[in-house]
Chain A
Amino acid sequence: MKISAIVTLKKDVLDPQGKVVSQTLKNMGYNNILNVRQGKYFEIEIQEADTEKAKKTIEEVCKKLLTNIVIEDYNINFK
């Protein structure tokens, strides 16, 4: 089973890279771009037939390693 996880900085944590990307887009003429937040994307292959069990494992992996829960949020997506 393939599962993806997206990790982004929490809304109240300053994201200087996102800010630079957003400013650059404005400089390129994309005036309708209001804001950009940069994050990380993980594609995870797991050997598990039970969707609930897989979800539980990935939740654990996100909390224990992929995310620093002080500053980041995660979002899990099934394919």
Chain B
Amino acid sequence: MKSSVIVFPGSNCDRDIAVALKKFQIKNQMVWHDESSLPDSDLVVLPGGFSYGDYLRTGCIASKSRIIDDVIKHAKKGGLILGICNGFQILIETGLLPGALLRNEKLRFLSKNVFLKVLNFNNHFCSTYKKKDLIELPIAHNEGNYFARKNILQSLEDENLIAFKYCDRDGKIEKNSNPNGSSNNIAGILNSKKNILGMMPHPERFIDPILSGSDGSNIFESLLS
């Protein structure tokens, strides 16, 4: 499998995801945002960080980068795209995923581990979570409060396009286990073709039990399976 990690000014999780991809023997290339074409890739990753200092709206300026035209073409052809944290915000701003990511309800930057319930295994990113659907991953964001109109939320629920929801350590999805005020406790969503995943938690930081945990590994194992 070949991947491209798009690097924007202000990306800061680009090398973490590169290390994760390498660990799982995915052949990766780093691609600067100002490039006009994407190298041959099965997977495109939009990494976490603070692209363009979060100016105007998070992910907004990055979504107008030169490389994005090719990323959209890749998406339309059914190519895989993974957007993590700021990458999720960029996907939202490009319109590849619906809704918006607002400031966290309590106006605080959140940096902690959270529990998540995996709700859709029938996609390229989450198939290996079937064995373990209650996982722990870190979050680190200021704008992760997912918002969408009622009809969009309803169709995400009806079409089973919510990949992850925030929950407590027992797997209960309720208001108290929602760290940022996200609608329906949403932590990650898929597009209708399920070739695009946007998520606020950081799987690339949880790929090694010695350093952190390993619940992020399944994303990469699923991609390869």
Expressed in whole angstroms, the Cα–Cα distance for A73 and B91 within the complex equals 21
B105 and A70 contacting across the interface, CB-CB below 8 Å:
no
A35 within 8 A of B: no
With A68-B100, A70-B99, A70-B100 known as contacts, the answer to whether A16 contacts B56 (CB < 8 A) is no
B56 and A66 contacting across the interface, CB-CB below 8 Å:
yes
B148 within 8 A of A: yes
Which residues on the A side are within 8 Å of B98 (C-beta)? Answer: 70
B147 and A65 contacting across the interface, CB-CB below 8 Å:
no
B103 and A17 contacting across the interface, CB-CB below 8 Å:
yes
Nearest Cβ distance between residue A22 and chain B, in whole angstroms? Answer: 13
List residues of B (44-86) whose CB comes within 8 Å of A's CBs. 56-57, 60, 64
Tell me which of A13, A16, A65 contacts B64 (CB under 8 A): A65
A68 and B147 contacting across the interface, CB-CB below 8 Å:
no
Nearest Cβ distance between residue A14 and chain B, in whole angstroms? Answer: 7
Which residues on the B side are within 8 Å of A16 (C-beta)? Answer: 103, 105-107
Nearest Cβ distance between residue A53 and chain B, in whole angstroms? Answer: 23
Nearest Cβ distance between residue B153 and chain A, in whole angstroms? Answer: 12
Scoring B residues 92 to 111 as 1 if CB is less than 8 Å from chain A, else 0, what string do you get? Answer: 01000011101101110000
Expressed in whole angstroms, the Cα–Cα distance for A20 and B106 within the complex equals 10
A44 within 8 A of B: no
A1 within 8 A of B: no
A13 and B107 contacting across the interface, CB-CB below 8 Å:
no
A14 and B105 contacting across the interface, CB-CB below 8 Å:
yes
Please give me the residue from chain A that is nearest to B95 by CB atom: A70
B60 and A68 contacting across the interface, CB-CB below 8 Å:
yes
Expressed in whole angstroms, the Cα–Cα distance for A14 and B181 within the complex equals 10
With A65-B64, A68-B93 known as contacts, the answer to whether A20 contacts B107 (CB < 8 A) is yes
Expressed in whole angstroms, the Cα–Cα distance for A12 and B60 within the complex equals 22
A76 within 8 A of B: no
Q: Which 10 A-B pairs have the closest CB atoms?
A: A71-B100, A70-B100, A16-B107, A68-B100, A68-B57, A16-B105, A16-B103, A71-B147, A70-B99, A13-B147
**Extra 7 A-B pairs, beta carbons < 8 Å, given A13-B147, A16-B103, A65-B60:** A14-B105, A17-B103, A68-B60, A70-B99, A70-B148, A71-B100, A71-B147
Chain B positions near chain A (C-beta within 8 angstroms): 56-57, 60, 64, 93, 98-100, 102-103, 105-107, 147-149, 181
Interface pairs (21), CB distance under 8 Å: A13-B102, A14-B102, A14-B105, A14-B181, A16-B103, A17-B107, A20-B107, A65-B60, A65-B64, A66-B56, A68-B57, A68-B60, A68-B93, A68-B100, A70-B98, A70-B99, A70-B100, A70-B147, A70-B148, A70-B149, A71-B100
